[in-house]
Amino acid sequence: MNFDLDYIEKLVKMVSDSELTELTLEEKESAIVIRKEKEIVQAQAVVPQAITAAPAVAAPVQEPEEKKEEAPKGKPITSPMVGTFYMAASPGAKPFVEVGSTVSTGQVVCIIEAMKLMNEIESEVSGKVTQICVKDGEAVEYGQVLMYVE
């Protein structure tokens, strides 16, 4: 998907000037997300295997703090879509998996809510969950690593 700079600038201005808090445009495996957080409007173009900030953003984009951790162990399970990550089927329910849990191929490991639809995410590998990279209720992007299985 190809968005030109003028189009992105118009979308950012529209979100900034309106009561909208988020605007997402998706086409096949690409998307652009424009999100207003505390009076700062951010735009992101989401493409397979890469997340880049659009140059049309006037406000500074905060970079996540670097964590000094060991390299992740195992194979990543990534998000197939933009949405909200949930570790359990409902609030207060037992999580599908925890660090140390053993999973098998095809087992549901989490839910991603997208456009009011709950999408069960299944493991593509068998093994032990070594790390969960996302907090319950956190927004995730396409291709973002959710957890590692060794």
Continuous segment of H or E residues that includes residue 78: strand 75-78
Q: Mean pLDDT, to the nearest integer, of 129-146? A: 93
Q: Which overall architecture, per CATH, does domain 75-149 show?
A: Beta Barrel (2.40)
**What pLDDT sits at residue 26?**
76
Tokens of 88: 């359990």
Continuous segment of H or E residues that includes residue 14: helix 5-17
Residue 128 scores a pLDDT above 70: yes
Pairwise pLDDT comparison (64 vs 15), residue with the higher score: 15
Instruction: Give CA torsion, residues 111, 129, 65, 120, to 10 deg.
Output: -10
Q: In the 8-state DSSP scheme, what is residue 27?
A: E
Tell me: the pLDDT tens digits for 41-83? Answer: 555 555 544 444 444 444 455 555 555 556 667 899 999 999 9
Q: Mean pLDDT, to the nearest integer, of 82-98? A: 92
Could you tell me where in the chain the CATH 2.40.50.100 domains are found? Answer: 75-149
**What pLDDT sits at residue 91?**
86
Q: How confident is the model at residue 127 (pLDDT cuts 50, 70, 90)?
A: very high
pTM, whole model, 2 decimals?
Answer: 0.53
3-state secondary structure 79-127: CCCCEEEECCCCCCCCCCCCCCCEECCCCEEEEEEECCEEEEEECCCCE
Q: Which amino acid, one-letter code, is at 30?
A: S
Residue 149 scores a pLDDT above 80: yes
Residue 105 sits at φ, ψ, to 5 deg, of: -55, 130
